Copies of this chain bind each other. A is one copy, B any other.
Amino acid sequence: MSSPLRNGDTPSPAVGRRHFHSTVSEKKIRRLNNLILLLRFAAFCFSLAAAIFMATNSSRSPGSPSWLRLHPFRLVFAANAIVAVYSFFAMGFSIWEILKGATLFPEHLQLWFDFAHDQVFAYLLLAAEAAGTVEARGLKGAHTCSSESAFCVQAYISVSLGLAGFAFLALTALVSGFRVACYVITGSRFHL
């Protein structure tokens, strides 16, 4: 079988690129997909844990504080729950992509969907955690924590877990933002 290229001819960039893509870089694509899945899994775990810690944070004695009566703690719960649900579905999309080699929705839609949600939910989660931190500090200043120390400790833990979730979501937003830029510039979601 003779090559379609004669001696001295240079292959067109598109052909060279596809060849390169199919042989050398299969491993790199898989590695990037696995990285995204790992980051989403970490964000899911931390935000789910933060939501659970906040939701179960009310002391049994009557007249004591409950997270339901404090607006910033409700925001912390809501933001973490939203991020946990989103991360769960996004993990599903990611696993689909790893198994089938294609995105579940049309490629441009999926890439923009991922990036926009990662970025907006990262901002949402950060704002909620900052609000929760101020509220937790305020409780300490009002000496609520001396009588209800378990309540305060659990609130601190929830906020800290949420901040860890934010860190992983912000990293995911960087990677998915890079994928969108790749798609806009080269027409493919992988730059290799």
Contacts and interface: CB of A to CB of B under 8 A. Distances in A.
A128 B130 CA distance: 7
Interface stretch (A1-9, A24-32, A179-187): A179-187
Contacts of A123: 123, 126, 170
A191 interface: yes
A131 interface: yes
Contacts of A182: 181, 185
A59 to B, nearest CB: 21
Interface stretch (A106-114, A132-140, A145-153): A132-140
A15 to B, nearest CB: 13
A72 interface: yes
Interface of A: 13, 71-72, 123, 126-131, 133-135, 137-138, 170, 177-178, 181-182, 184-186, 191
Please report whether the interface of chain A is mostly helix, strand, loop or mixed according to DSSP.
helix
A191 B191 CA distance: 15
Q: Which 5 A-B pairs have the closest CB atoms?
A: A181-B181, A130-B130, A127-B130, A134-B134, A131-B134
Given A126-B126, A131-B130, A184 B177 contact: no
B181 A134 contact: no
A177 B191 CA distance: 16
Contacts of A185: 181-182, 185-186, 191
A140 B185 CA distance: 50
A126 B119 CA distance: 13
Contacts of A127: 126-127, 129-130
Given A130-B130, A182-B185, A185-B186, 13 more contacts: A126-B130, A127-B127, A130-B131, A130-B134, A131-B133, A134-B134, A134-B138, A177-B181, A178-B181, A178-B184, A181-B181, A181-B182, A185-B185
